[in-house]
Chains A and B, each alone.
Chain A
Amino acid sequence: MQLTNRSKVVSNKEMTAAEAAYIPAVLKGMAVTLKHFFKRPATVKYPEEQREFSEVYRGKHVLKRDENGAERCTACGLCAVACPAEAITMVADERKKGEEKLYREEKYAAIYEINMLRCIFCGLCEEACPKEAIFLTKEITPSNYEREDFIYGKDKLVEGIEPSLRIDVSKRQDR
């Protein structure tokens, strides 16, 4: 089966005198490198420049709050079941009296952890979520020195209450 038309059949035939002198071949190679010399570099100088991201890029997760600032997650565990990399764990707890402002439903996730070393950023958790609580954002998961630091708890995942700290996921919701 031919995938591209660039493939060549390998042959071990004797070289002609012109080929054996190698000089034309060397010059040909040098022409190739010279062509690349004047080509634009493919480098993106990262901290100053960033590659354009897709509107629906799948990066670090966020646990959304509702319009009143209460966590939407109800710790149903569907995201953990849907996760093909088994990166999500959670411990559920019951909402006490007076916590209505914090948690939307009667059950909430006391611990919600995503192991970013396991996560493959497929977005299945987002699809599985019945409460529109978890979304993937454009943010990139940064590198770290310790393996433990890649296990993201609620402190890193839940968005802030103030309107300025809210993360816009409307593009992903629209899909």
Chain B
Amino acid sequence: MNPIAFLILSVLTISSALMVVFSKNPIYSVLWLIICFFSITGHYILLDAHFLAVVNLIVYAGAIMVLFLFVIMLLNLNKETEPHKPMILKAAAVLSGCLLMIVLAASLQGYAQQPPAIITEEFGTAKGVGKVLFTDFLLPFEVASILFITAIVGSVILGKKHVND
């Protein structure tokens, strides 16, 4: 792994993630989030996980964030229409954020002691990922795909119903 590239990407990831939170304008938040996803894609490439990198790009940067941007552009959020949040809500948000941080830190404990995984020739390619998905993780994969098919069929039906009205 190239340490300089890793450093640049990490700084970019973390700073853009922070900018998502600190931006006043929600559109800017979304744009920073897109940059954040891009740098995460860069991390995947550094880790030789090309398939994941591209899928991350297609699904998150290419589709989900477009929808986010879409909705926020339509909502026309700006400073005047921003609802005032009560103090207790803000306190709860800080508290739950801290709790999440603790959980994450705890789950990462002892991770460094593990030996690094062996990287095979097929690692990260569509072939390698596919083989793992259809052997070790067959059940979760199939369940997830049924979920997605349901969602697609549901959206088509919603669309059809609207036309018949």
Q: Do chains A and B make direct contact within the complex (CB under 8 angstroms)?
A: no
**Chain A interface (Cβ < 8 Å from any Cβ of B):** none
Interface residue ranges, B against A (CB under 8 Å): none
